[in-house]
Amino acid sequence: MAASELSPAFSYACGTISAKLSRGERVLLHNVSFSLSSGERLAVIGETGSGKTMLALSILGLLPANVRMRDGCVQLDGAALPAGKQLQSLRGDRIVYIPQSGAEFLLPTRAVRKQLYDSLKKLGLPRKEFPALAAEKLHLAGFDAPEMVLDKYPFQLSGGMAQRVTIALAACSRARLLIADEPTNGLDEAGRAQFFALLDSIFPDAAKLIITHDISVAARCGRVLVLCGGQTLETGASADVLSTPRHPYTKALLAAQVANGMQPSPVLREGVSVCPFYARCPEADAACLNGAMQKHTDGTTEWWCCHA
């Protein structure tokens, strides 16, 4: 097999992403790294504030003005992602984003047809092909009668319809990386299954980064990465991590699910540790205050913890 075939479609490594505040700096992500093969799905899970959305923004080049990445390396098909206008040209083409709420993402003053045409322009195709292509993309996204949608404005669409329109917009691309941020929020089990079926049919070769708090969605991905306090605490095959979690934080995340009785994490304890879960960890001890987080593996799962 050629070396190029072994290279990941996408790889990400950040040293530190921090926000400059009026009183010093706050670290938002630290030493997070992963890679994705063509067609692979990776779920990123963690509580609100764990760093999931900041991770996506750092890839898209949309970090807030007071936030900086240091010592980062982000590559698409073996080439470092550019910055500025060059990266902007990749968004919506090679790198595609599907938001949590299609209704909020779509431009309220432009009809669906116009928004699809805007996306098709990036492909450099003849304008005379736009009407047929726009209808085709809507059909791919699950609309049986695209002509009934093309001239509607976002406020005229249901939430599910708006989300399918964002998928149609994403289909107007040559995506190699697809980032979906809580894309199935509010959908039932059948809706979640339909969403992933659409992704796989429209983007069979794109690497897929799925940001979610929904464990059932993470279970539909091949691998999972667990974030807490901007750090990776566990990663591995979803089937292994979600059935036999190794890090106390992953165990707590799973225990907090409705199906598991919504068990709360322990109340805060005093002290500062290198582990972001120390204050709530039921397994914490003195070693967590003085030691460093060590990498552990059982051959299928990797986790970082002060304990063996």
Whose tokens are 């979803």? That residue is: 238
Q: What percent of the chain has pLDDT over 90?
A: 54
pLDDT of residue 48: 87
Q: Does residue 114 carry a pLDDT above 90?
A: yes
Q: Does residue 34 carry a pLDDT above 90?
A: yes
Stretch 176-184: mean pLDDT: 89
* Integer Cα distance of 38 and 52 in angstroms: 21
| HSE-up (13 A, CA, CB side) for residue 81 | 26
* Integer Cα distance of 175 and 173 in angstroms: 5
pLDDT of residue 1: 38
More confident residue, 104 or 36: 36
Amino acid at 295: K
Whose tokens are 């010093």? That residue is: 24
pLDDT of residue 3: 39
Secondary-structure class of domain 3-94+174-305 per CATH: alpha beta
Contacts of 205 (CB under 8 A, 6+ apart): 9, 38, 39, 176
The CA-atom distances, in angstroms, between 119 and each of 14, 60, 93, 114 are 30, 17, 8, 9
pLDDT of residue 161: 87
pLDDT of residue 6: 58
More confident residue, 267 or 163: 163
* Integer Cα distance of 70 and 257 in angstroms: 35
pLDDT of residue 134: 94
pLDDT of residue 2: 41
**How many residues make up the chain in this entry?**
308
* Integer Cα distance of 129 and 255 in angstroms: 52
Least confident range from 77-81, 101-105, 112-116, 227-231: namely 101-105
Letter string b/e over residues 127-163, b meaning 16 or more CB atoms within 10 A of that residue's CB: eeebeebbbbbbebbbbeebeebbeeebeebeebbbb
Would the CA dihedral through 273, 26, 88, 179 be positive or negative? Answer: positive
**Pairing mode of beta strands 41-45, 223-228:** parallel
More confident residue, 85 or 44: 44
Contacts of 195 (CB under 8 A, 6+ apart): 163, 167, 183, 184, 187
Closest by Cα among 205, 233, 236, 210 to 223 = 236
pLDDT band at 177 (very low <50, low <70, confident <90, very high): very high
In this predicted model, what pLDDT tens digit does every residue of 258-292 receive, in sequence order?
666 556 666 577 778 889 998 888 888 888 887 78
Whose tokens are 């299928």? That residue is: 300
What is the domain partition of the chain in residue ranges?
Answer: 3-94+174-305, 105-173
pTM for the predicted model, two decimal places: 0.88
pLDDT of residue 266: 61
Structure token digits, residue 224: 């999972």
pLDDT of residue 234: 97
293 within 8 A of 275, measured Cβ to Cβ: yes
Stretch 38-50: mean pLDDT: 93
Q: Is 64 helix (H, G, I), strand (E, B) or coil?
A: coil
Q: What percent of the chain has pLDDT over 70?
A: 94
Q: Is 270 helix (H, G, I), strand (E, B) or coil?
A: coil
